Chains A and B, each alone.
Chain A
Amino acid sequence: MCWEVWFFCFFAYGILIYSIIILNTYILIGVYSVFENIQHMRKHGFTDYSIVASSTVVPDISILAPAYNESATIVENVRSLFSIYYNNLEIIVVNDGSKDDSLQKLIDAYSLVKVPYLVIEKIATEPVRGVYKSTNIAYKKLVVVDKVNGGKADALNVGLNIASKKYVTCIDVDCILEQDALLRMVKPFMSTADKRVIATGGVIRVANSCEVEGGKITKVHVPKNMLARIQTVEYNRAFLLGRMAWSKLNGLLIISGAFGMFDREIALTVGGYDTKTVGEDMELVVRMRLYMEDNKLPYAVRYISDPLCWTEVPSSYRILWRQRDRWTRGTVETLRKHKKMFFNRKYGILGLLSYPYWFFFEFLAPIIEFTGWVFFFVYAMMGMIDWYFFFLLLIFIVCFGYLFSAFSILIETFTFRQYKEKRDIPKLLTAVLLEPFIFHLYIVGAAIRGILRVMLKETAGWGEMTRGGFSKKESRKCV
């Protein structure tokens, strides 16, 4: 037999085996996750958060919100932070050298004055140009920091330096938080007696087409934009059928950068965010975990599955590309930086399960898929493809994907039920059906590009996200 055929067979079956392994793994994680979700809901269904809300002995929290060129929405975003129901709060907005008038808008809206402030530089950062506080007692919680541009990680590090409270919450300034989000996020820190909780992460929900008023989501809608809709399904799948399982195993490698709470002391001890990577949120969590593992301190990273944070997802292909490119670069950079964990028994679950999973199924998957397509075209041109088999296989995989997505929607219906209208489920169905055709291949492409960029050592940048603002139904009055 000629080598081409051998190569082809080896190749085809290799991909088949990989697919089977990955599909089975998804099923396993999915099922485990669902059980965990149900258990979690039962357990936390009756916690009375109102006690914490009005108590004065709650732990202190600092909110860190880095901002760059957010002039259009920054005043409203900060206002929504004020409506968070929590005592003992400090809101730190870091203006990362915006080129527009974000800072001036804040100064005007909140009666800010520049105050002398000694920044204790526990982590080295770009210079701070000034610290501002409000003369209006209603805005006492607010601290605005103006600094030289240095990127999101750098801005967060400035926030870490300045924060004076025990726990820090890092959020994207345009995220909308549920009113009791902080209460729910802080609970694991306080109710785990034998381990130290170092970080908690929340679920990110898609805010596109949702009605937002006064900094709160008033009505949830399935996004009109098809890309956003598909991402809704995707986020749903990832959170409901993935994160919960990892959280229970204490193998959660990633806390979403959009909303996460950290133990400030540990974050500072490990040196804060890494400014050289674009995946700073994931990288910090990994580094904090490694620190605890290295020092043999019992710890946990917890994940709250209630919907707490809403954000706008890319609704155009261009921005989606940039976002996925950046995510992939972040993943690769983090994996590369911490490759000592790979199958390293010293790191327990992290080394034996989490890291290998991320390596094989998050990092390699797009590569293998891409290579698969390349070879497919090559062999197609050589006329060696059994078309019947090929299409059968393709349909099989697509249907599996459908099954998985449909299942996540089912779970969503029975747990959090964010999408309540009659037309919502059919709308999500269209997204599920279209996903493999207009979405999946595109993000595989973006992932490949990201991997290539890291491998070829191009300098990374945070990129510019164009803020579209929220639903047109937004109505607000500035008093």
Chain B
Amino acid sequence: MKILIAEDEPLTLKMLSMKLQKDGYAVIQAEDGRKALEYLETEGCPDMVITDIMMPFFSGLEVVEKIRKDLLSNIPIIVLSAMGQEESVSAAFTLGVNDYITKPFNPNELSLRVKRLIVV
């Protein structure tokens, strides 16, 4: 099972990668929106995407849009972001994400949510 993580803070990225690897998933890291999109274009869709919103080059919302509208894929997407207000959340869900987690987050909880969504 491959999970793409798009996150610009190196510490958070390391943290997420290690946690998910411990859980048994293969992790692809993308340090910004552009790398995420590059990956999606060249390698196609992984089994799940976890993305931040505020990232350099392209925002997480644009990554989501790319997956849902251009690649027409239904893979589960989780948004993990510090921006927790109604606007961002509703924008994300309107674009078709499956879950929205705000930072600070509980890694164990994230683990459970990943497990729940990826089984689909």
Chains A and B in contact, CB within 8 Å: yes
A85 to B88: give the CA distance in the assembly, Å.
13
A403 to B91: give the CA distance in the assembly, Å.
55
Residue ID in chain A nearest B85 by CB atoms: A56
Chain B residues contacting A138 (CB-CB under 8 Å) are 59, 61-62, 65, 91, 95
Q: Is there contact, CB below 8 Å, between B56 and A83?
A: yes
Q: Is there contact, CB below 8 Å, between B82 and A53?
A: yes
> Is B19 interfacial (CB-CB < 8 Å)?
no
Q: Is there contact, CB below 8 Å, between A82 and B82?
A: no
> Is B94 interfacial (CB-CB < 8 Å)?
yes
> Is A214 interfacial (CB-CB < 8 Å)?
yes
> Is B80 interfacial (CB-CB < 8 Å)?
no
Q: How far is the CB of B56 from chain A (nearest CB, A)?
A: 6
Q: Is there contact, CB below 8 Å, between B58 and A214?
A: yes
Q: How far is the CB of A58 from chain B (nearest CB, A)?
A: 10
> Is B5 interfacial (CB-CB < 8 Å)?
no
Q: Is there contact, CB below 8 Å, between A83 and B37?
A: no
> Is B68 interfacial (CB-CB < 8 Å)?
no
Q: Is there contact, CB below 8 Å, between A140 and B87?
A: yes
Q: Is there contact, CB below 8 Å, between A216 and B54?
A: no
> Is B34 interfacial (CB-CB < 8 Å)?
yes
Q: Is there contact, CB below 8 Å, between A87 and B85?
A: yes
Residue ID in chain B nearest A79 by CB atoms: B58
- Chain A, 19-55, contact with B by CB distance < 8 Å: what is the 0/1 string? 0000000000000000000000000000000100110
Residue ID in chain B nearest A476 by CB atoms: B57
User: Which one of B32, B34, B54 contacts A477 once the chains associate, using CB atoms below 8 Å?
Assistant: B34
- Chain A, 239-274, contact with B by CB distance < 8 Å: what is the 0/1 string? 000000000000000000000000000000000000
> Is A213 interfacial (CB-CB < 8 Å)?
yes
Q: Is there contact, CB below 8 Å, between B91 and A137?
A: yes
Chain A residues contacting B56 (CB-CB under 8 Å) are 83, 213-214, 216
Q: Which of B70-120 contact A (CB under 8 A)?
A: 70, 82-85, 87, 90-91, 94-95, 103
A54 to B102: give the CA distance in the assembly, Å.
10
Chain A residues contacting B2 (CB-CB under 8 Å) are none
Q: Count A-B contacts at CB 8 Å.
A: 48
Chain B residues contacting A85 (CB-CB under 8 Å) are 54
Chain A residues contacting B83 (CB-CB under 8 Å) are 54, 87
A223 to B56: give the CA distance in the assembly, Å.
24
Q: How far is the CB of B50 from chain A (nearest CB, A)?
A: 18
A83 to B61: give the CA distance in the assembly, Å.
11
Chain A residues contacting B85 (CB-CB under 8 Å) are 56, 87
Q: Is there contact, CB below 8 Å, between A83 and B59?
A: yes
Known: A53-B82, A214-B56. A140 touches B91 (CB 8 A): yes
Residue ID in chain A nearest B84 by CB atoms: A54
Residue ID in chain A nearest B64 by CB atoms: A138
Chain B residues contacting A54 (CB-CB under 8 Å) are 82-84, 103
Chain A residues contacting B70 (CB-CB under 8 Å) are 479
Q: How far is the CB of B62 from chain A (nearest CB, A)?
A: 6
Chain B residues contacting A53 (CB-CB under 8 Å) are 82
Q: How far is the CB of B93 from chain A (nearest CB, A)?
A: 10
Chain B residues contacting A140 (CB-CB under 8 Å) are 87, 91
Q: Is there contact, CB below 8 Å, between B37 and A479?
A: yes
A376 to B87: give the CA distance in the assembly, Å.
68
Q: How far is the CB of B24 from chain A (nearest CB, A)?
A: 31
A48 to B34: give the CA distance in the assembly, Å.
27
Q: Which of A196-235 contact B (CB under 8 A)?
A: 213-214, 216
Q: Is there contact, CB below 8 Å, between B91 and A479?
A: no
Chain B residues contacting A137 (CB-CB under 8 Å) are 90-91, 94-95
Q: Is there contact, CB below 8 Å, between B62 and A479?
A: yes
A479 to B63: give the CA distance in the assembly, Å.
9
A87 to B83: give the CA distance in the assembly, Å.
8
A12 to B6: give the CA distance in the assembly, Å.
68
Residue ID in chain A nearest B41 by CB atoms: A477
Q: How far is the CB of B75 from chain A (nearest CB, A)?
A: 18
Residue ID in chain A nearest B65 by CB atoms: A138
Chain A residues contacting B57 (CB-CB under 8 Å) are 83, 213-214, 216
A137 to B87: give the CA distance in the assembly, Å.
9
Chain A residues contacting B33 (CB-CB under 8 Å) are 214
Q: Is there contact, CB below 8 Å, between A479 and B66?
A: yes
Residue ID in chain B nearest A85 by CB atoms: B54
Q: How far is the CB of B11 from chain A (nearest CB, A)?
A: 13
- Chain A, 121-165, contact with B by CB distance < 8 Å: what is the 0/1 string? 000000000000000011010000000000000000000000000
Binding site for A on B (CB under 8 A): 32-34, 37, 54, 56-59, 61-62, 65-66, 70, 82-85, 87, 90-91, 94-95, 103
Q: Which 10 A-B pairs have the closest CB atoms?
A: A214-B57, A54-B82, A56-B85, A137-B91, A138-B61, A85-B54, A137-B94, A479-B62, A216-B56, A54-B83
Beyond A83-B59, A479-B58, A479-B70, 13 additional pairs, beta carbon < 8 A: A53-B82, A87-B85, A137-B90, A137-B94, A137-B95, A138-B65, A140-B91, A213-B56, A214-B58, A477-B34, A477-B37, A479-B62, A479-B65
A-B contact pairs, 10 of them (CB 8 A): A82-B59, A83-B54, A85-B54, A137-B90, A138-B61, A138-B65, A138-B91, A214-B34, A477-B34, A479-B62
